[in-house]
Amino acid sequence: MSNPVLLIADPNISRLTALLRRCEDHHGVTVLGAATPGEAYVLLESHLPRRVAVAAEFAESIEFDALADILTMIDAQVVIYGQMRRPAGGYPVHSSPEQMLSRLFGGLQPGRPAPATPPRAAEAVQPSTDPVGGVILLGSSTGGITALETVLGSFRVDCPPTLIVQHIRPGFADGLVRRLDQLLKPRVVAAEDGAPLRRGMVYLAAAADRHLGFVLRGGPKIRLIPGAPVSGHRPSVDMLFTDGAALADRLDVRAALLTGMGADGAQGMCALRRAGAHTIAQDRDSSVVWGMPRVAIEMGGATEVLSLSRIGPALLSREAVRQRRLS
């Protein structure tokens, strides 16, 4: 069984670092730190911490209110430390970090400095200029950050260009881009209008007021599309998949619809399959919320239904088959 996870959210970097050091030698608990709401959102979704300690300055911010839904959903034990200037929303408040640590652990001893995040491998930084060959499209929502880490974790440094729509609160997408870019072999960036699609690149929809799509004029490139929400979302998975369906007769398009609430992506996946693209839906057992993929399966949009661990290799194996046929 994996260790329980404690997340400490504190905008004061020096205090956060000191707390992480103090927690380092507490065996049996994995301790993570977040200095911004975006970092906290990503870590909450990806690690589902059982306990969350929040500095008063953080708890009083407007951005913290936006995290309340996910804190409730994962049933985390939340404690606040410091001097609150407004009601604490029912969370227990401790006047100092020391009292908070005592409440959570019964007291901790100072530990060694936390190790720095290892740098990205040099070969992972430069995208390939080879022909793209094909495009991979991914859509996800609730539970999707962990799912994306799993799927993309199997991608090589020269993977096909990959476009992602992950439902995420406005302002938090940049933190997700940074986290994925640190974890993965391919380069991960926020999608920019007109950027050419390159092998070894993963493009995340980060503009809250634009849909993500792509075109082939002058070579495959990203387009950011203004407009109203589609299927209840902006950016919308349906919009991305619909663009892919329009180009599937000229480009090898593969798509996966991952865990998430609602039905966004289901209609687009049906269009992709009708256009000849290979489509994969995440199965029920490995989904946090089996909503979006379930609807796609029921509508006949999924070529395959696979567990999360099999989706990444399946998307890449399609390219291997294609390359063998061309050789």
**Catalytic residues, which ones?**
141, 167, 264
Largest Cα separation within the chain, whole Å, is 68
Partners of 261 in the β-ladder: none
- Secondary structure class of 122 (helix, strand, coil): helix
Q: What is the 3-state secondary structure (H, E, C) of 131-159?
A: CCCEEEEEEECCCHHHHHHHHHCCCCCCC
Class of residue 326 by CB neighbours under 10 A (exposed 0-12, middle 13-18, buried 19+):
exposed
For the record, the structure tokens of 246 come out as: 């329009």
Cβ neighbors of 209 (< 8 A, separation 6 or more) are 226, 234
- Secondary structure class of 192 (helix, strand, coil): coil
CA atoms within 13 A on the CB side of 26: 22
